[in-house]
Amino acid sequence: MTGLTHIDDQGRARMVDVSDKASTAREAVAVGFVRMAPATLALALSGTGRKGEVRAVAEIAGVMAAKKTADLIPLCHPLALSKVEVSVESGEGGLAVTARVKTIGPTGVEMEALTAVSVACLTIYDMLKAAEKGMVIEAVRLVEKTGGKSGDWAAD
């Protein structure tokens, strides 16, 4: 009907059947950014926020989120993840979040990487909202994926 794999011939949502797909090494990298005022960024980097060390907590939250993706996104398959790495680094005007997720399986880990970044960004917002309500979560996107039938892909 639409060429979308999660829509059947009658237009109904469905989980894709991956039982006949080969298990292969798959990896995805996603990024995002939390834009904030210089004073808020300084607070985040100081490690003295009221809720604790912002970057460390956000990184752990991202790892936990990747592992729960199938619980959050209705048509995602639960996957045995072999690696989840989330990093939060200082960037121009805020904090940059990167997630790298790996598995060996019949379907990719793009959603897990995007979920890890999204929840890490939300955690940063939560931990710093007392200092600044106007932070902006932006540019959450997939930047790379490898493996699977569709092959490798990287953003321009």
Q: Which of 8, 9, 17, 126 is catalytic?
A: 126
Interatomic CA distance for residues 37 and 23, integer angstroms: 45
Which uninterrupted H or E stretch holds 153? strand 153-154
DSSP code string of 108-139:
--HHHHHHHHHHHHHHHHHHHTTT-S--EEEE
In angstroms, the Cα distances linking 82 to 11, 67, 104 are 34, 10, 7
What values do phi and psi take at 29, rounded to 5? -125, 130
DSSP reduced 3-state for 11: coil
The DSSP symbol for 56 reads H
Clarify whether 126 is annotated catalytic: yes
- Looking at the annotation, which residues are catalytic? 126
